A and B are shown apart, each in its own frame.
Chain A
Amino acid sequence: MGKKSLSTFPSASQEMPQKLWRFWIVMAGLTLMLLWGVVLGVNMGSVSIGAGQVFSLIGQALRLWIQNLLPGGDPQPLQQLLASSTESRILFSIRLPRILLSAVLGGALSVSGLLLQTFFQNPIAGPFVLGISSGAKLVVGITLIFLSGYLPVISSGILMLSSFAGSLLIMAVVLLFSQRVRSMSVLLVIGIMVGYICSAVTDFSITFASEHEIVNLTSWSMGSFSGANWQNLSFSAGICLAGFIGALLLHKPMTAYALGEEYARSLGVPIKAFRAALILLSSLLSACVTAFAGPISFVGIAVPHITRSLLKTSRPLLVIPATFLCGAVFCLFCDLIARTIFAPTELAIGTVTSAFGAPVVIYMMLKRRSRQQLA
């Protein structure tokens, strides 16, 4: 009796193209917003640069840069262009790297949140609420205090490593608890408490540290994209790209995992390896962000949720790239606001992301509570 249906329902995938349409529209919309944000970000500030000038400068720089890559290229014209005027110096050495860094890290943070939510099978999970960002801050703080005595400059690699170590450390603690605690709300409370403990230890070491040791830490822990330069942009972009590709490669088991661990195992998903991969990738991404921009709250929870609502699906293959793009747009605009709204005073990026992200999270909690699915 099953065979008859094949003729009566000719289009097996009636609804798939519709979802794909939605996906491409969302992606196009986000890309346009990203471009708009880049132009706006470059444009705005104490020295305003006209949009036309922005395009011509970027166009020229791109052309020269590509020529540079070709054999026999000459780096001279590019250097000249970059230093040719105040505008181009501001554009190329301050604003552009900062904008791109905020976009890349925003995307990475969102994908990191998405992976954590997949891991815990709960959309409220995120690197910040589980105390992972605070753990990273703790280890970065201790590293800064101890090493600043021996090294004149703390390189981004060291920051990155210590932030990664801190993330993994707290992740391990939270995982240990999650073995014993089945309820997600209890786990979240534990995560928040662990975060407070980390902050307490950080504050404690700051109290006894001398001024010059912690000057870095204070500005770092405020959370900001202001330290951006081309070097750490390319470094973090490389890591985030690797993490992003890794996440995309996991999309197939992620789809199966959406039905829960037991169904996934019955489908042949190697659960342990898969969960380890999720955690490592997520830690790598959030550590990278925390190392370069300090702890940034709520992006990891809010953006994946916004993305899923936009796409009206949770298919990982579509959600992962859209989340990255959406996170990039979100952080780019948040940074723009942080930088310009009370100029010349700059807000911490976390202040702005919380202001926009926390209401989204509250809304989600309420919606889920009404469906009796939290915990």
Chain B
Amino acid sequence: MSALVLRAGRRSFRVERRTLWLSAILLGTILALGFVGLCYGGATWASPGEVLAALTGAADSVVIVEWRLPRVVAAMVFGCALGAAGAIFQTLTRNPLGSPDVIGLDAGAYTGALFAFTVLAGTSGQLAVSSVLGGLLVAALIYLLSLSNGLSGLRLVVIGIAVNAMLQALNSWIVLRADLEVAMAAGAWNAGSLNGVDWADLVLPLPILAGLLATLLVWFRPIQQSTLGDAVAATTGVGLDRLRLMMVLIGVGCTATVTAVAGPIAFIALAAPQIGRRLARTPGVALLPAALTGAVLLLTADLLAQMLLSPESLPVGVVTTAIGGCYLIWLLTQEVRRR
């Protein structure tokens, strides 16, 4: 049996062995990449010894603890959130292209954030709320436009891509109309960036994302069951309406919370679930591998973003877009060939 089962009285816990191993390896990779991220920054390297000393409190290092650590933690948690959100929406739409960044949820959340930035005072609370609202509005819009075909299918994806393009235009227009100072900040932010993320930026998002990911774990089994198709899922006891609502809320919540802090970071949500699923070789959704793969991808991309044009630090979104773009082209050709 390829699954590990633990039983105690009436309680039992089950997990695929391969998923367990894979998760351990991915977790190790994440920690290693995170450590490298603490060593490197602003075109200078700190020795592992210095980093350890700073982490354990043996030595004071503002650079490592106050600058690099929040950035690394953000990359880890945001990567997990984006990977999980991608897995949720790809499962919901039954399409590897149906990920939040492709169908415009990132762009919608960003529109919400821009609104908070330009019209309201732009506090982090306002940013969080308005980006979630932006994401939800876009999700509702896409759903209504593709209603005749339900939530699944290429139709929803195509409509999502169109909505995404329109929102990008809207976002550019808002930026153009804004004050110069706001516009410059927003412009850098538009590419998706972890540059300058500090602890103050993370006070709200980290607990929110932790809560969303924990909720997702609770819902994992019905999500898994839903991959058997609507009829079998419903007649084996999945409340599909409630499940879908939960999935949309969690997926949009993850995407929008990340976007509110870092701007739209594309392609992590698109690629992570597919890579995670192939590594885990589990049927249906591989939620945990998708989330962990997302963290690995974002950490790697952020390191590259800092190193490529060092000492200039690129927005991480530029790197993910460059790598992910190639992947998207490949995926589109596959998808077209399948039909």
Q: Does chain A bind chain B?
A: no
